[in-house]
Every structure is written in C-alpha cells, then in structure tokens.
C-alpha cells in the first residue's frame, strides 16, 4: 500500500556483485554510467570489495533484487514500519522484451494495521503472454466519509475490517503490444465494525450500508495496449487498459453488479533530448450496473495500485463514478542518476449516484524525491509530499513509480 516513509534504515541488494550487462535500447532504462543506493551501501559496508563491472551493452536475463526496510509516518497509517522486496528480470534479450517484476512487503502501523500485498507482472518470452497478479491481505482500521464529492472532511468515521483481495488475469498477444484476456477477481471484507464513538443513528446507518461482511466475486475481461518496456520506471510509450468486472451472485457476490475501469497513460521525453519525463495519467472508474459492495466502490487511493489522490488520505472521496487525471514531471538531480525529483498535479471527481452531475473537482499537488534502488531494473524509492483541499497534506511513498 501507498505509505509515506521518511527514515530509511537500509537500502541493499540481494543480487551478487559481478559483471551485469544491461539494456541496449534508447527508450528503456540503461545502467551505463549510473549509480544506485545498493552501490553506496556496498561501498560503506564493504569498502575493499569490488562492485559492478557495467558495460551497458546488452540486456541480461538475471534476476535483480531490491530490499527496503524503513520507518515513517503517513496520514492513513500513523507511524509505521515496512519491509519491501522487489525482483525484476527479463525473459529474453530481444530489444523489445518487457520487464517482469514481482513485489511484496510487510507493513505494521501505529494503528495496528497489517498490510501484505503480492503483485506480479510477468511477461513470457517474446511477450506472447502476460500474467498479472494482485493479491493482498489487510487488517485495516480506516476512515470512511460517505458518498460523493461534497462530504465533510471533519465527519469521517473510522471502521475496522479484515480484507482479502485476489485478482488474477491472463493476457494473450493479439498483435505487437496489443493484448486481450480474462481473469477472476475476488474481494472479501469481514469483521466490519465501527470503532469511533458515534451516535446510534450513524452507527445503525453504517451497519445497514456495510453489514459485517462484504463479498465481490466474478470474471473480468480486459484489453491492453502497452508499448512501455519498463513498468517499474516508464521512460517512454503508451499504456491503455480497459477492464470490465462482473460480480456474480452465483460465484459468491453479495449481489450482481458491474464496473468498468479505463486507464490511459503516456510518457514523453521533455525536453526531447534529455532523460526527463513528462507523464500523463487518466483513470475513469465507473459502476455500470447494480450496487457493488461499499468498500470496492471507486474511491481515493483504492485503485489497483492504491496510488490515486496524492494529497488526500485514502478513502477521502468515494462514489459510484470516479474521474481522475494526473500529470507528473520527472527529472534528474544528480548526473549519476542516484537522485531525482518530481512535481505532480492531480484532479479527482466523484458522483454519489448514477444520475447526479459531477459538480466538484478536487485538486492535489506536490513534489517528491526519487532514490535509485536498482539501476538495472530502474526501481526507485519514491518519497512525495502532497497537498489537497481543506488543509489536507502528507507523505506518500512507493517502491516503483506512482504510474
């Protein structure tokens, strides 16, 4: 989950230090002449040992690891500790081979939240198949604010629940960079209860809307166009995804419902001869039929990567429809690529029901730093500080770029 960590304890690599050739492609991550935090830690801990021999000539098929334990603070978690592991590799040496990655972490927070995600984006040789896994376990006290964009930021109610998410999709190549596939999506929340001291009327309303458990289960159908070569740190290309989810009572859902996500992103070098990147992201998350469980309705920070709405606490806005736009400018700070920076701006809009108009747009903005964890995979530790409406602000951090 998106968590803002400000004190790093250790940044290291589990990959042996040896000759490690990299990508020879103008639009992908290249390690020639670059440095990362792993080398800095290695130099401090083992100053007499040799480090990488980097020829920067070819793409390798070795597995590159990044390990990040840290402490920090965020709006959603309070003080928290996290240990993250990422593995990235190529299944071939062709210039157009896409980067496969697997990430997981363990987070425990001041508010007794436990978060254990497992995310995998695996490409077979020749990019013929793409296997996408998103599994998460959460024990998660968090705030809810009702539906729509006009909810009062001072009237959130904290609920506690345990959640299990398993989304698996298999995509097959139709033509170069074009994929279609099918998957199975399962979300379940149980032990839902109010832990704030609220009036009986509010408590009964929450119990009526949420109950003590919620389940959504059903097939998913997805179309994908993706010209990016590196999903952890895109330097170029276009990403366009349409995913339709059908929650079915016959497969265990509380009720039948449907939702559609349209996710479009593009990445441009700006200026064109530099390594700086101007990125754009649009996400339309729509309820197309029925009434999905409250906790899987479109909501701030509850997209698949939990990354929308930097500047706001997770769950700040929720509705049957969500329109979202974000732009980010990524630039280098040091010549060796170890440290970079970003500036970002986003807009989000929600409607409480299918007939209401989109009457309120909520902006967010901020700046951040990028610490190069692994120059071979391009994995960055992303530490951002964002601002939103009504005095909302806080830290937001990812292993890998926000989008």
User: If you write DSSP's letter for every residue of 42-109 in order, what string do you get?
Assistant: HHHH-TTS--------S-----EEEEEEEEEEETTTEEEEEEEEEEEEES--STTPPEEEEEEEEEEE
> Which carries the bigger pLDDT value, residue 24 or residue 236?
236
The angle formed by the CA atoms of residues 210, 311 and 188, to the nearest 5 degrees, is 25
Class (C level, CATH) for 7-399: mainly beta
3-state helix, strand, coil in the chain (%, to 5): 10, 50, 40
> Which carries the bigger pLDDT value, residue 203 or residue 55?
203
Long-range contacts of 353-359 (CB under 8 A, 24+ apart): 353/147, 353/319, 353/320, 354/287, 354/320, 354/321, 356/148, 358/149, 358/321, 358/323, 359/149, 359/150
Residues sharing a CB contact under 8 Å with residue 161, sequence separation 6 or more, in sequence order: 139, 140, 189, 190, 191, 192, 193, 295
Under 8 Å between Cβ of 178 and 141: no
Split at pLDDT 50, 70, 90, the class of 198 is low
Could you read off the pLDDT of 181-190 as tens digits, one per residue? 999 999 999 9
For residue 295, the SS3 value is helix
- Residue 67 is predicted with a pLDDT of 79
Give CA–CA dist 172/182, Å, rounded.
Answer: 9
Could you read off the pLDDT of 351-383 as tens digits, one per residue? 866 444 456 889 999 999 999 888 887 888 888
Split at pLDDT 50, 70, 90, the class of 21 is very low
Under 8 Å between Cβ of 160 and 196: no
Q: Is the pLDDT of residue 343 over 80?
A: yes
Could you read off the pLDDT of 268-325 as tens digits, one per residue? 999 988 999 999 999 999 999 998 999 999 999 999 888 999 999 888 999 999 999 9
Tell me the residue length of the chain: 403
Question: Which run of H or E residues covers position 243?
Answer: strand 237-247
| Highest mean pLDDT, choosing among 8-17, 189-198, 261-270 | 261-270
Q: Is the pLDDT of residue 9 over 60?
A: no
Under 8 Å between Cβ of 103 and 119: yes
Q: Where are the domains of the chain?
A: 7-399
């Amino acid at each position: 989950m998106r968590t803002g960590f400000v004190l790093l304890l250790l940044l290291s690599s589990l990959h042996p230090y040896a000759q490690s050739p990299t990508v020879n492609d103008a639009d992908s991550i290249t390690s020639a002449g670059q440095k990362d935090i792993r080398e800095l830690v290695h130099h401090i801990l083992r100053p007499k040992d040799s480090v990488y021999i980097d020829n920067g000539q070819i793409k390798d098929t070795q597995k590159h690891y990044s390990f990040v334990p840290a402490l920090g603070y965020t709006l959603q978690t309070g003080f928290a500790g996290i240990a993250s592991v990422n593995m990235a590799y190529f299944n071939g040496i062709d210039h157009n081979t896409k980067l496969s990655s697997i990430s997981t972490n363990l987070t425990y927070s001041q508010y007794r939240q436990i978060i254990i995600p497992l995310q995998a984006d695996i490409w077979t040789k020749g990019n013929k198949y793409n296997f996408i896994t998103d599994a998460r376990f959460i024990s998660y006290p968090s705030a809810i604010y009702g539906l729509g964009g006009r909810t009062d930021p001072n009237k959130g109610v904290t609920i506690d629940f345990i959640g299990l998410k398993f989304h698996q999709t298999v995509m097959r190549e139709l033509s170069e960079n074009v994929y279609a596939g099918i998957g199975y999506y399962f979300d379940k929340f149980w032990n839902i209860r109010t832990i704030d001291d609220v009036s009986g009327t509010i408590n009964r309303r929450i119990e009526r809307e949420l109950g003590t458990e919620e389940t959504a289960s059903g097939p998913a159908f997805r179309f994908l166009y993706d010209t990016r070569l590196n999903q952890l740190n895109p330097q170029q290309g276009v990403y366009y995804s349409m995913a339709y989810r059908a929650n079915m009572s016959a497969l265990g859902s509380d009720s039948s419902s449907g939702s559609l996500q349209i996710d479009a992103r593009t990445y441009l070098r700006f200026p064109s001869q530099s390594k700086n990147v101007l990125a754009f992201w649009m996400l339309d998350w729509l309820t197309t039929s029925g009434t999905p469980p409250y906790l899987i309705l479109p909501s701030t920070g509850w997209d698949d990567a939990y990354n929308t709405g930097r500047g706001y606490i997770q769950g700040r806005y929720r509705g049957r429809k969500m329109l979202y736009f974000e732009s980010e400018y990524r630039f280098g700070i040091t010549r060796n690529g170890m440290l970079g920076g970003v500036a970002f701006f986003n807009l989000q809009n929600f409607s409480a029901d299918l007939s209401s108009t989109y009457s309120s747009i909520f902006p967010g903005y901020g700046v951040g730093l990028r610490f190069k964890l692994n120059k071979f995979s391009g994995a960055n530790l992303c530490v951002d500080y964002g601002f939103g409406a009504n005095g909302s602000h806080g830290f937001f951090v990812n292993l890998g770029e926000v989008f």
